Structure 1
Amino acid sequence: MAVYKLVFAGPVGAGKTTAVQALSDIEVVSTESVATDETRRLKRTTTVAMDYGVMRLDNGDQVHLYGTPGQKRFDFMWEILAENALGLVLLLKGDAADPVADLRIYVNEFRSFIDQTGLVVGITHAEAAGWQVRQQVAREMQSLGLPSAVMEADPRSRAHMATLVGTLIHGLDPVRAGAPG
């Protein structure tokens, strides 16, 4: 049995906790706390350390899922959670004021990790944003020299999240990812 680790990152309210819950075959370990800053205008609770779940694959392998906090003040957790992970699932809110700016922020923060592993981007809340957001994000990823694996995704849907995870895993370079040869 192989064990893999993936990290979910993105801004507050993008659906990281929900995505980990949708994928996990165990009860999710969550560090949700009542929001006490400007985040409370967006949602009542927020992740302050991480979310953790396990997805069991049909072949017996396991994917350990780590959701990062979305707030910059908890960014010290981002590097800790990314350690030894195979790649990054970046969730962006399609209805945010500037999803492309959010992309830039997270790519800048995780760039060395992304360059060593892999990245896939899921646009959440896409029904309110329209398909243009996906196009804008894909164009920006190309301008940043990143593969443009961008898709609309509902974090509540196990199938949508499994497609993101599968896209990330299948796009990894097995030598860089440390997969058995």
Structure 2
Amino acid sequence: MREYKILFTGTTGAGKTTAIKAVSETAPVVTDVANTDSSIVKKQTTVGLDFGLLTLDNGDRIRLFGTPGQGRFSFLWSILAVNAIGMIILIDNSRPDPRADLKMYLDAFAKYLASIPCVIGVGRIDTNPHPNIDEYADLLALRNLPLPVIDVDVRQREDVILMIDMLLAQIEVNMMELGNA
């Protein structure tokens, strides 16, 4: 059995904790506390990390880590990214400028994105259709980042599993390419 680490990141309220809860086979560890930031409309917010476990069909385990979304905890982002085999960036399309949110995370994790696969999951696109998936893809193309972008509902286990499967497929392709090099 091998163990791997996948990092979930994104703004406060994007669904990192919810995504990990949707797929973790154990009760996830969460470091949520009462929210005191009046600019954020949620009762609880993560101040440390979220952690869950997922066992693959072959017995390998994935450790799922979620970052806090608030910028004041950004010092934890790079600490939590160490040894990750992949990253999922969650974007909340109901925020005032979700493209700016994505840019911030692409910049914050630029050194990691140069070497590990990433999937962008956009939530709440059903109720907030702009920007659309194509606009996110255009933003990524301008940065020469060929990353998959999908519409997700992180409350749905299948959607979170799809993002993880997309990461694992990218990792497998990268390993095959290294084997042929």
Give TM-score, length-normalised by structure 1.
Answer: 0.93
Shift of 1:38: 3.2
Q: How much is the aligned-residue C-alpha RMSD, in angstroms?
A: 1.8
Deviation per residue, 1:12-32 (Å, 9 max, x gap) = 100000000001001100000
Alignment partners' CA distance in 2, 1:128 and 1:73: 29
Shift of 1:151: 0.3
Asked if 1:125 corresponds to 2:100, the answer is no
Shift of 1:168: 1.2
More deviation, 7-16/133-142: 133-142
AA aligned opposite 1:101? A
Say whether the 8 Å CA contact 1:116–1:176 is kept in structure 2.
no
Give TM-score, length-normalised by structure 2.
Answer: 0.93
Deviation per residue, 1:63-86 (Å, 9 max, x gap) = 100000000000111011100000
Structure 1 residue ranges (4+ consecutive) displaced by more than 4 angstroms after TM superposition: none
Unpaired runs of 5+ in structure 2?
A: none
More deviation, 122-131/83-92: 122-131
AA aligned opposite 2:9? A
Shift of 1:90: 0.3
AA aligned opposite 2:70? Q
Asked if 1:9 corresponds to 2:9, the answer is yes
AA aligned opposite 1:46? T
**1:102-121 pair list within 5 angstroms:** 102-121=101-120
Question: Alignment identity in percent?
Answer: 36
Shift of 1:171: 1.1
Shift of 1:118: 1.2
- 1:166 aligns with 165
Unpaired runs of 5+ in structure 1?
A: none
Shift of 1:175: 7.4
Between Structure 1 and Structure 2, how many residues are aligned? 177
